[in-house]
Amino acid sequence: MIYIMAGVLRVMMTICSLLIGAVLGTRYKVFCLPPVILAAALAIAVLDRIHHLSFSSTALSVLAVGVALQIGYLLGAIIRALLTSPARADAYLRDRSASIS
């Protein structure tokens, strides 16, 4: 019974991580991902130890959440790029190229 619940919770965590990653992708730069992934991994490890789940189950959960956060971030960044007006994108690129040179 606990393994069925663990599977359902893993799917729910993965879906939530996908959505959280999409929100992060629309708002922040990519440097926000490593701390979020580490915090999620720590939380999963603690909760899995409390529920006496195996190490392989914990590793699978951490992997699924980490990948879902990254995919969600990518989708959020794509959405942000599509919703950004072309004039604003051009101004951003001009400012960025001026600061580089």
Domain ranges within the chain, ordered by starting residue: 13-100
More confident residue, 9 or 78: 78
pLDDT of 68 reads 95
Sign, CA dihedral 84-87-88-93, equals: positive
Q: How far apart are CA 40 and CA 15, in angstroms?
A: 13
- Model pLDDT for residues 10-67, shown as the tens digit of each residue: 888 889 999 999 999 988 888 899 999 999 999 999 988 888 888 888 898 899 999 9
Q: Are 14 and 69 in contact (CB under 8 A)?
A: no
Residue 2: band (very low, low, confident or very high) from pLDDT cuts 50, 70, 90: low
pLDDT of 10 reads 82
